[in-house]
Amino acid sequence: EVSVSELGLGYESDETVLFRYCSGTCDAAVRSYDLSLKSMRSKKRIKKEKVRARPCCRPLAYDDDVSFLDAYNRYYTVNELSAKECGCV
- Residues near another protein, by CB under 8 A: 1, 14-18, 64-69, 73, 75, 77
Nearest distance in Å: CB 36, another protein: 42
Burial code of 12-34, b = ≥16 C-beta within 10 A, e = fewer?
A: ebeeebeeeeeeeeeeeeeeeee
- Tell which residue, 35, 78, 82, 74, has the closest CA to residue 54: 35
Of 1 and 27, the one with the shorter C-beta distance to another protein is 1
Of 21 and 33, the one with the shorter C-beta distance to another protein is 21
Helices (H) and strands (E) in the chain — how many of each?
A: 1, 6
Nearest distance in Å: CB 89, another protein: 25
Of 34 and 70, the one with the shorter C-beta distance to another protein is 70
Nearest distance in Å: CB 71, another protein: 8
- Tell which residue, 5, 10, 21, has the closest CA to residue 81: 21
Of 69 and 89, the one with the shorter C-beta distance to another protein is 69
